[in-house]
Amino acid sequence: MPADRAGGPWPTWPAGFASGTADRSAAIVLAALAGLTPRRLLPVANEGHSAEACLALVGEGELGSDEDRRLAGSLDPTELATSLTRCGARFVTCDDPEYPPQLLTIHDPPFAVFLRGGGLPEQAAAVAVVGARRCTDLGRELARGIARGLGLAGIAVVSGAARGIDAAGHEGALGSGTPTVAVLGCGIDVAYPAGSRELLRRILHGGSVVSEYPPGVPARPFRFPARNRIVAGLCRATVVIEGAAGSGSLITGEHALEFGREVYAVPGAVNNPLAEVPLALIRDGAGMIRGPDDLLSDLGLDAALTPPPDLSLAERAALDALVGPTLPEHVARELHVGLADALTLLMALELRGLVRSVGGRFESTIAARAASGPAR
């Protein structure tokens, strides 16, 4: 590994690999070739081959697959650059000042990224929030609350813009007014899933969208595990909220552990399939957190969360009566009031985001923890 480059215990890109005009033109083509992953290209680059020389080897059939050779011959770097301009993206190689240096310390670092919006945060100012796509309401609430807490503490939230926990993490960060970063597993101009288009638009207002793939590259299953290493690599820590066995959230957490980053997980019931990944990570040494306060404390950050709500004695009593999903009849008995009065209290708490209704039962939310202050 060259001495003048930042890096971890793995090979990284030699200085000058994509610095000149010809090398940058070659690099943008190399980025579109599915068969030429950083793992396959790095050893060749470290033998002294520039991006232009690597592309020539592809054309000669000495590097990459037959499909890579066919595609490389059909791609025009000028047209690719024009498509970048059209979608408002820029091409950032490992030789550019804007390239995030923390990515040079990970396994198989990308030799370039495509970037829309603002710049990428420093490693110390970024935390990943990831988890299940098919998450629970509680998981979604936790992701929003944790991301909002990070944002209010001045930390950028990084995630993958997928459904579920990813989207909730971005939304929580947006709610704090702090930039958030979406890492895509497809071309920089592709909204995947299609429902994330509006979320990505909101992220670009102050935040950034990043991919190692040029415009037009479709989403494919093999690209998402590769995407996850960038999510973990950009950040000082990764937080995992819900995830079933074999999910991408486990891959992201394992990458973070491999890269020497901090990893935190929110535990769940042992019989809950979505708790399998967090519990496995905790068993392997990840920090156990219950919400934003735990995370901020462990990261050594000052909490700047919403002040505790001002509750009446009756509202406090109704909240205290909720131990898991609870029927309103139970609350009425606990408070020695009629059912109508109990429902009125519970609905008032629901409007304030302190409880939610689940199949006719009521349960407290994460925000209800802030209600531990004195009643009025």
pLDDT in tens, 170-188: 999 999 999 999 999 999 9
Amino acid 308: pLDDT = 59
123-299 domain in CATH 3.40.50.450? yes
Q: Which amino acid is at 310?
A: D
The rounded distance, in Å, linking the Cα atoms of 72 and 66 is 10
Q: Does domain 313-372 have CATH number 1.10.10.10?
A: yes
Give residue 324's pLDDT. 81
Give the HSE-up count for residue 199: Cα atoms under 13 Å, Cβ half-sphere: 26
Structure tokens at 226: 């590769």
Q: CB of 159 within 8 A of CB of 182? A: yes
What DSSP state is assigned to residue 13?
P
- Whether a cis peptide bond, with omega within 30° of 0, leads into 193 is yes
The pLDDT value recorded for residue 294 is 92
E strands in the chain? 89-93, 112-117, 126-131, 156-159, 180-183, 208-211, 237-241, 262-265, 287-288, 355-358, 361-364
How far apart (Å, rounded) are the C-alpha atoms in residues 123 and 103? 9
Q: Determine the distance from the C-alpha atom of residue 62 to the mean position of all C-alpha atoms in its chain, rounded to a whole number.
A: 36
Q: Are 193 and 156 in contact (CB under 8 A)?
A: no
Q: How far apart are CA 138 and CA 278, in angstroms?
A: 14
In sequence order, the 6+-apart residues with CB closer than 8 A to the CB of 238 are 127, 128, 130, 231, 232, 252, 253, 255, 256, 261, 262, 263, 264
Write the burial class of residue 352 (CB in 10 Å: 0-12 exposed, 13-18 middle, 19+ buried). Answer: middle
Ranges of the chain with pLDDT below 50: 1-4, 373-376
pTM of the model: 0.84
Q: Where in the chain is the domain with CATH 1.10.10.10?
A: 313-372
pLDDT per residue over 290-307, tens digit each? 988 899 999 998 766 555
Closest CA to 126 of 249, 271, 234, 4: 234
Q: Outline which parts of the chain fall under CATH 3.40.50.450.
A: 123-299
